[in-house]
């Protein structure tokens, strides 16, 4: 899946997003940044700081505590993880061949997609006079964490975009987010990301081969190379039995 959306079950999950999984992570931490107009309103800039991020996941924002009281305790859904993953060929050339421009291209595509999602999808539900209405807010608080490999340690450039369960209404009050549109249009968000990334990749001088539903791969990487980097276990098996490893020096560079 190019784009996946999953609900966070508890604030303690925050720590996993900081774990480094690639050579380029600095200080043992996955590169991160704050995004969204909601983050700007809270004066959040640069890398996401762990304690601050954890407080927001708990629903503690400005001077408010978001959530509903149940049995004397605050119940608050932390947020959602909207993950965008680059095509395998982009991951190989970025993480194995070392073209870090592709990492920057991926980040720009992610920012553009999140900006569109924020403008069109961000909303809250407000209860007034016994009725509930949906109000478009146009602002989100997002902490983005970039990773370079999959759990199997294959090259897999992807970003976890943690959309905090909070948005500011027209009066300036912070409220819980209405996530329905993100679930309904998850596939469309993935398509937007792919289209943006394809344009970025081509501007760097790479040719691309387009597939179905806006999918693409960088032209020139054969199926064997993609397969070798698709599952670590397969790569190990190839090395053990054939003594043949993918030639990193033969991987394409842009024109």
Say how far apart CA 104 and CA 122 lie, in whole Å. Answer: 26
Active site includes 206?
Answer: no
**Are 140 and 176 spatial neighbours (Cβ–Cβ below 8 Å)?**
no
Active site includes 18?
Answer: yes
Catalytic residue selected from 18, 24, 193, 206: 18
Say how far apart CA 188 and CA 166 lie, in whole Å. Answer: 23
Q: Cα 119 vs. chain centroid, distance in angstroms?
A: 17
Question: Starting at the edge strand that comes first in sequence, how are the strands of the sheet with 79-85 ordered?
Answer: 3-7, 79-85, 155-164, 142-149, 32-35
**Are 137 and 122 spatial neighbours (Cβ–Cβ below 8 Å)?**
yes
Distances (CA, A) of 6 to 155, 171, 220, 251: 22, 29, 34, 34
Return the active site residues.
17-18
């Amino acid at each position: 899946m190019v784009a996946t959306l999953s609900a966070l079950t508890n604030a303690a999950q925050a720590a996993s997003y900081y774990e480094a999984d690639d050579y380029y992570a600095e200080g043992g931490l996955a590169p991160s940044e704050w995004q969204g107009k909601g983050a700007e309103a809270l004066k959040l800039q640069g890398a996401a700081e762990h304690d601050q991020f954890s407080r927001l996941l708990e629903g503690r924002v400005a001077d408010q505590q978001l959530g509903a009281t149940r049995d004397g305790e605050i119940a608050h859904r932390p947020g959602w993880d909207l993950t965008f993953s680059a095509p395998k060929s982009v991951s190989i050339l970025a993480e194995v061949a070392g073209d870090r421009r592709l990492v920057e291209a991926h980040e720009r595509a992610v920012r553009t997609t999140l900006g569109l999602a924020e403008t069109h999808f961000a909303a809250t539900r407000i209860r007034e006079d016994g009725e509930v209405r949906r109000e478009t807010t146009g602002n989100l608080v997002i902490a983005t964490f970039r990773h370079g490999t999959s759990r199997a340690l294959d090259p897999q450039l992807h970003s976890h975009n943690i959309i905090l369960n909070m948005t500011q209404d027209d009066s300036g009050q912070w409220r819980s987010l209405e996530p329905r549109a993100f679930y309904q249009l998850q596939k469309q968000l993935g398509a937007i990301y792919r289209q943006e990334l394809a344009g970025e990749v081509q501007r760097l001088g790479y040719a691309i081969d387009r597939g179905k539903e806006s999918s693409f791969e960088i032209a020139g990487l054969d199926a064997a190379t993609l397969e070798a980097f698709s599952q670590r276990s397969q790569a190990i098996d190839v090395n053990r039995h054939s003594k043949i490893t993918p030639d990193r020096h033969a991987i394409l560079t842009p024109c």
